[in-house]
């Protein structure tokens, strides 16, 4: 089995090969096994019966998702209900946006937004500390109680809380088509993700609506990404996005055809390709769901290396429970008779801020709170 040690520690076996990745607690290594036994491919799940009137059909899908998440934390979904033309239009939109001049994109620079949303130029983030930065540019938008496209009042039956004084998203000047196009895709992917929340409830033997209370207006993030071709070096340090595990509950990624770059790290320390397949989304477990399942569903490490010589575009959608939810391990995942778990209960918003700020050390919100102890951080820091 693979083992992990902290980056600052001496590796236990100098003659062994290790894979580096970034985890929530810092830099980590995984030993490459001499006797591989973990997954070598990503399973595909057919969602044709997702809206079936038969509970048994939906339970069958839930069982397949449970097995895939337990096996490797990743799975493809097909026949998911998002029309192909919506996906095609999304990629045309991404190419049009990232082709804009630098000055226009920078009008929505992430550092202008307290919620850490907006445009990130090439090399602005650095998930792999051994590199000069991630070889990609990105734009981030997400949940916002004030933007009419998200229908907060219709979804919750309440008016937006008074603490929200301005929209959490920021948009580029002179490009209204970008906001319109992003919401065209967002308003397809968000309902699909919410359907999957109910399937996950069934996967744990719960009532289909068991998680509804935790996803009344959840934290979401959608992240259009552009990766130029990545130079290849023998140490594998040149990456579009450094090795990491997502700090979401569930992630659904739209990948453009013909440009493979996503790689998933199995427990043997071997990288497994997750290439794009037309008509599918690739999904993975995030750290919140890993905690909620007591590790039964691993938040699997992955990275992006675009060695195709082509431009690559993708768009992950991140789903996380409401920021005020207190999340604990599910009863069905507590294991031993005493119900001991590897994870303590956590507040969703508190954990979120403790993950996002260290990942954006140059951001004004991070700099403003650099001397504030982490135990005093709160999700509301993103709303100021």
In a domain, 271, yes or no: yes
pTM score, two decimals? Answer: 0.89
Cβ-based neighbour number of residue 209 at 10 Å: 10
In a domain, 56, yes or no: yes
φ and ψ at residue 105, rounded to 5 degrees: -65, -35
In a domain, 9, yes or no: no
Angle, in degrees to the nearest 10, between helices 176-203 and 84-98:
130
Regarding beta strands 74-78 and 44-46, do their DSSP bridges make them parallel or antiparallel, or are they unpaired? parallel
CATH number for the domain spanning 310: value is 2.60.120.330
Q: How many CA atoms lie within 13 A of 5 on its CB side?
A: 13
In a domain, 32, yes or no: no
How many domains, in total, are found in the chain? 1
Q: Minimal CA–CA distance to 379: which of 314, 318, 313, 326?
A: 326
Q: Give the largest Cα separation in the chain, rounded.
A: 61
In a domain, 14, yes or no: no
In a domain, 30, yes or no: no
Domain membership of residue 86 as a residue range: 40-382
- CA separation (Å) from 75 to 145, 221, 374? 31, 20, 34
In a domain, 19, yes or no: no
How many residues are given for the chain? 384
- Sequence-distant (6+) residues with CB within 8 A of 50 are 58, 61, 80, 81, 195, 199
Per-residue pLDDT of the chain (384 residues; tens, 9 = 90+): 333 333 444 555 555 564 555 554 455 544 555 566 678 899 999 999 999 999 999 999 999 999 999 999 999 999 999 999 999 999 999 999 999 999 999 999 999 999 999 999 986 665 555 555 677 899 999 999 999 999 999 999 999 998 898 999 999 999 999 999 999 999 999 999 999 999 999 999 999 999 999 999 999 999 999 998 876 554 454 566 677 888 899 999 999 999 998 999 888 888 999 999 999 999 999 999 999 999 999 998 888 888 888 999 999 999 999 999 999 999 999 876 566 788 999 999 999 999 888 878 889 999 999 999 998 999 999 887
């Amino acid at each position: 089995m693979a083992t992990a040690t902290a980056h600052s520690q001496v590796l236990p076996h100098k003659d062994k090969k290790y894979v580096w990745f970034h985890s929530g607690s810092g830099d980590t290594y995984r030993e490459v096994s001499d006797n591989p036994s973990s997954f070598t491919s990503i399973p595909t799940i057919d969602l044709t019966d997702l809206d079936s009137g038969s509970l048994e059909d939906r339970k069958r899908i839930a069982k397949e998702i449970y097995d895939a998440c337990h096996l490797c934390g990743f799975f493809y979904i097909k026949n998911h209900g998002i029309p192909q033309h919506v996906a095609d239009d999304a990629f045309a939109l991404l190419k049009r946006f990232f082709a804009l001049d630098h000055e226009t994109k920078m009008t929505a620079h992430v550092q202008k937004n307290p919620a850490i949303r907006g445009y990130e130029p090439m090399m602005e983030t650095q998930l792999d500390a051994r590199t000069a930065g991630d070889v990609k540019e990105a734009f981030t938008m997400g949940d916002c109680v004030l933007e009419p496209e998200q229908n907060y009042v219709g979804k919750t039956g309440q008016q937006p809380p008074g603490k929200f004084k301005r929209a959490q998203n920021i948009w580029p000047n002179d490009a209204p088509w970008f906001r319109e196009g992003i919401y065209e895709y967002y308003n397809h992917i968000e309902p699909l993700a919410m359907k999957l929340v109910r399937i996950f409830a069934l996967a744990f033997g719960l009532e289909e609506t068991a998680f509804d209370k935790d996803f009344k207006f959840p934290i979401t993030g959608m992240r259009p990404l552009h990766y130029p071709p990545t130079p290849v070096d023998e140490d594998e340090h040149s990456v579009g996005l450094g090795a990491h595990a997502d700090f979401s509950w569930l992630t659904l990624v739209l990948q453009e055809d013909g440009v493979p770059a996503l790689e998933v790290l199995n427990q043997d320390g071997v990288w497994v390709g997750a290439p794009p397949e037309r008509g599918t989304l690739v999904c993975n477990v995030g750290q919140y769901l890993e905690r909620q399942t007591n590790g039964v569903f691993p938040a699997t490490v992955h990275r992006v290396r675009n060695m195709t010589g082509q431009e690559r575009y993708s768009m992950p959608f991140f789903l996380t429970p409401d920021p005020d939810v207190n999340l604990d391990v599910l009863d069905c995942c507590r294991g031993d008779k005493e119900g001991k778990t590897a994870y303590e209960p956590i507040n969703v918003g508190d954990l979120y801020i403790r993950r996002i700020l260290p990942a954006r050390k140059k951001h004004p919100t991070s700099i403003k709170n650099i001397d504030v102890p982490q135990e005093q951080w709160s999700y509301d820091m993103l709303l100021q």
